[in-house]
A and B are shown apart, each in its own frame.
Chain A
């Protein structure tokens, strides 16, 4: 979906006064991004849908509490998503469900649909490794690669400085490299 053109500040003001149409515009702008984030964090299409709905419901119910103190609205939304995903993981671990390691294949943007149906074995292995990382490292990678965010933007969402994000990213790459050493994924030939 093409990016909707509107003055976000104005729309936010209207939405915080209970204007559902204004909130609808925000929904259209952010639905894909929030869905992507939740989808990669849960690895489950059904839960991704449910949690994405709850993110927007919670945002709609509390939008009057959002005040722009240097934190963009998107960061506020991602924080809601982050909290709900954290609760979801906590509940699942309590119920001791069988973990879902594989993220189901959905068509990627800009790719031919048929190409996406077959995700390479290498990508599956890497995805499994990513999903074994601590939550904050998964967040970082998703925000960086799926959402294409800068370290500063990621810092605003994670409540960390840009330097701290950079450092965490470096440690995450180190951890991945060490784990990839035991896998068939070859980095030397890149």
Chain B
């Protein structure tokens, strides 16, 4: 049957495809696996958390944001203190 080394007859193609279709069938992942996967993707993996902590650029922006926020709060507090203080004078 295997006469040509580089060509396949239609019969051979059909037979091979039938075997492949019979072997490579879609499977259903077990329900518990799907459930576990669903739970796993809700939270970042520990290595993901570590990589986030190593993200210096993000850390810099977070730190900058916190400092700016504190500065705004202090300025507002000082302004209020000044205005309230003037009323009492």
Asked if A and B are interacting partners, one says yes
Please report A residues at the B interface, Cβ cutoff 8 Å: 20, 24, 27, 31-32, 35-36, 39-40, 45, 48-49, 52-54, 56-57, 60-61, 106-109, 111, 122-123, 126-127, 130, 141-142, 144-148, 170, 173-174, 176-178, 180-181, 185, 187-188, 190
Residues 20-51 of chain B, each 1 if its beta carbon lies under 8 Å from chain A, else 0: 11111111111001101110111011001000
- Chain B residues lying within 8 Å of A141, measured Cβ to Cβ, are 20, 24
Bound form: Cα–Cα A180–B12 in Å: 11
Q: Which residues from A are CB-within-8-Å of B20?
A: 126, 130, 141, 144-145, 176
* A32 x B37 contact (CB < 8 A): no
CB distance A49 to B26 under 8 Å? no
A176 vs B38: C-alpha distance when bound (angstroms): 37
Given contacts A27-B38, A181-B2, A187-B1, A32 and B22 within 8 Å (CB-CB): no
Tell me which residues across on chain A come within 8 A of B33, comparing CB atoms.
Answer: 35, 45, 49
Contact, CB under 8 Å: A178 / B2: yes
User: Which chain B residues lie closer than 8 Å to A176 at the CB level?
Assistant: 16, 20
A39 nearest CB neighbor, chain B only: B27
Distance, CA A146 to CA B29, complexed state (A): 13
Measured CA separation A152–B32 after assembly (Å): 34
B30 and chain A: residue at smallest CB distance = A106
Q: What are 6 A-B interface contacts by the 8 Å CB criterion?
A: A32-B26, A49-B36, A108-B25, A109-B26, A123-B23, A126-B23
Do B48 and A187 touch (CB < 8 A)?
Answer: no
Q: Do B26 and A190 touch (CB < 8 A)?
A: no
Mark B residues whose CB is within 8 Å of A.
Answer: 1-2, 5-6, 8, 11-30, 33-34, 36-38, 40-42, 44-45, 48
Bound Cα distance from A178 to B30, whole angstroms:
36
| B41 and A53 contacting across the interface, CB-CB below 8 Å | yes
Which residues in B have their C-beta under 8 angstroms from that of A174? 5-6, 8
Partner of B29, one of A57, A106, A145: A106
CA A63 to CA B21, docked complex, whole Å: 33
Contacting pair B41 A177 (CB below 8 A): no
A101 to chain B, nearest CB (A): 14
Closest 3 pairs between A and B when the two form their complex, measured CB to CB = A190-B15, A145-B24, A108-B25
- A20 to B43, alpha carbons, bound, how many Å? 11
Q: How far is the CA of A118 from the CA of B21 in the complex (A)?
A: 17
Are B27 and A187 in touch, CB under 8 angstroms? no
In the bound complex, residues from chain A placing their C-beta under 8 Å from that of B18 are 190
In the complex, the answer to whether B26 meets A108 with C-beta atoms within 8 Å is yes
Contact A106 B24 (CB under 8 A): no
> Besides the contacts A24-B38, A27-B41, A185-B19, what 7 more A-B pairs have beta carbons closer than 8 Å?
A52-B29, A108-B26, A108-B27, A123-B19, A123-B22, A147-B26, A190-B11
